[in-house]
Amino acid sequence: MRSSTKPRHLVAAMLATTLFAAACADSPPADDSANGTGSADNTSAASDPAQELPSAITGNGGELEGTALQYVEGDELTTGYLAVPDGDGPFPALIIIHEWNGLQDRVRQLADDFAHEGYVTLAADLFQGRTGSNRQENMALVREAQANQPAMIANLNAAVAYLKGRSDVTGRVGAMGWCFGGGVALSFGLDGENHDATAIFYGRLVDDPEVVARLDHEVYGTFAALDSGPSPESVAAFEAALRAAGVENDLHIYDDVDHGFWLRVDGDPDVRTAPAADAWQRLKAYLQRTLG
């Protein structure tokens, strides 16, 4: 692992996040809103892929088990969601970052699923408790967040500080997100305070090797062949930049699926279940490598 010392300016964040809104807007809207980039064959090692997936992403998430949390000092509007595993720990920790419509119950339910996997999980809130219900509202929230990049990174730094300050956390923290949140996760990996994992689900990317060289840990990415934000060509350019910078990565493009396929498998279960299950197995192995 390379040194965790990184420049604190936000050029990388701006390069990455200024394009996330376009990624979401140009892709089909969601219903509530292996290594290398070669296309996958959409098969999974699981004998029953649907049963292996987190309940939240199949539309079967249950009653919320966690608690609301104000984790940014002096900010009573920003309200995340904390899910904690059973037992005394200590456990590794995750920050999960919502899509362009804000912190919704599906992401909260997924935090519960990650807690069941053994991670203290904080679903961050980048929109100060607000959510969008249509494209116009979502875009307005995204633009407002993008207009204050330092505040967005500071929000996630506060999440890391909170998690590392808990007695039931090992000190190892990862960040992941979807669409808008996937790009923010990458920006946070580039410009945020030290953490140990970055997982990106179809968020806009950076293709400059000098920029991605600031990453000090392996990067995970799951992408869709039928997506335009990012396109397979953008993923290939991102992978080339990571390789040129010597950053380890596990990136994969899945055939026959489009933007948003992993978080909402129930949108087209016949097509999405198998690739989502493969991506889930890769993700679990990645988190074990980097956080476990």
> Assign residue 68 a region: left if phi > 0, alpha if psi is -120 to 50, beta otherwise?
beta
pLDDT greater than 50 at residue 8: no
Rounded CA-CA distance 10/186 in Å is 12
Rounded CA-CA distance 67/268 in Å is 31
285 domain residue, yes or no:
yes
Q: Number of C-alpha atoms within 13 angstroms, CB side, residue 142?
A: 28
The pLDDT tens digits for 86-113 are 999 899 999 999 999 999 999 999 999 9
- CATH number reported for the structural domain that contains residue 128 in this entry: 3.40.50.1820
CB contact at 8 A, 242 and 220: no
Bridge partner list, 220: 199, 250
| Among candidate residues 190, 177, 186, the one with its CA nearest the CA of residue 95 | 177
DSSP string, 196-217: SEEEEES------HHHHTT--S
2 domain residue, yes or no:
no
* Structural domain of 182: 11-290
pLDDT tier, 150 (very low <50, low <70, confident <90, very high otherwise): very high
Q: What is the DSSP letter of 252?
A: E
5 domain residue, yes or no:
no
Q: What is the DSSP letter of 28?
A: P
Domain count, the chain: 1
3-state secondary structure of 232: helix
Measured between alpha carbons, how far is residue 144 from residues 68, 130, 140, 149, 158 in Å?
A: 23, 12, 6, 9, 19
Global pTM reads 0.87
The pLDDT tens digits for 187-220 are 999 999 889 999 999 988 999 999 999 999 999 9
The pLDDT tens digits for 10-41 are 444 444 444 445 456 544 444 443 334 544 44
Mean per-residue pLDDT of the chain: 87
